[in-house]
Structures are given as C-alpha cells and as structure tokens.
Amino acid sequence: MADCLFCSIGAGEVPAEKVYEDDQLFAIRDINPVAPLHLLLIPRKHIATILDFEDTDSALVAGIYRLAARLAAENDLSDDGYRVVANCKSDGGQTVYHVHFHLLGGRAMAWPPG
C-alpha cells in the first residue's frame, strides 16, 4: 500500500534492521526500543489494525506467534519469558496503521501496562 511505512520497509524501500523474513512475515528491530529486545513482527500483507483480520488470515496470525516463540528462543528468552503486544487504534496506542506485534523481552514487564 502506498504511503505505508511497514509496506515500504517490507519492500526494502525504507531501511530497517531486518532480523527475519519469509514470503508472509518479516521482523525488524524497533527504532525506539523499550526493552533490551524489542522486535516488530509484521505481515507483508497490508492489514490496518487487528480489527481487520479475516478468517483467511488465521494461519498468518498463528504464524506470528510461532515466529515470536522462535525469535524469543534465539534470543535466550525461553526460560524467563517475554511479552507480545499488538496495539489497536488510539486507545491502544497504535501509531503505525499496518498490523504489527511487538516482541518485548530481556526485563520483567510491569502489569497493568500504562
């Protein structure tokens, strides 16, 4: 989609530190990390928010959680754990309207979130 930051990063038109990519998904380091490990797991398909997933996206969503577990394991987070967060619209704190999941780890997370 034109004028979408994450579509542009996925297409290689905007630079980012990619740590994973396949034909469905890619993962980058967040430019403003809030934890020792802060990755963004992003479907290549332009989907604006997590409200917009369709039945046909079920495998894609499952794949995001499987990729999160794989990247967490590769970063030695399997024992202590990690958090996966998807912010939705204004109250959820979403700033980029192309679905992405934050993988946060390397420190204890607070609850409730701010």
Where do contacts with ligand AMP occur on this chain (CB under 6 A)? Answer: 5, 16, 28, 30-32, 40, 87, 93-96
- Edge-to-edge strand ranges of the sheet holding 18-21: 18-21, 25-29, 37-43, 101-105, 82-85
Whether 46 and 96 have beta carbons less than 8 Å apart is answered as: no
Helix (H, G, I), strand (E, B) or coil at 4: coil
CB of 87 to ligand AMP, least distance (A): 4
Token pair 């980058």 is at which residue? 28
Q: What is the CA radius of gyration of the chain?
A: 14
Q: Select from 27, 39, 64, 98 the one that contacts Zn ion (CB under 5 A).
A: 98
Residue 32 near which of ligand AMP, Zn ion, none (CB within 5-8 Å, type-dependent): ligand AMP
Residue 50 near which of Zn ion, ligand AMP, none (CB within 5-8 Å, type-dependent): none
CB of 37 to ligand AMP, least distance (A): 13
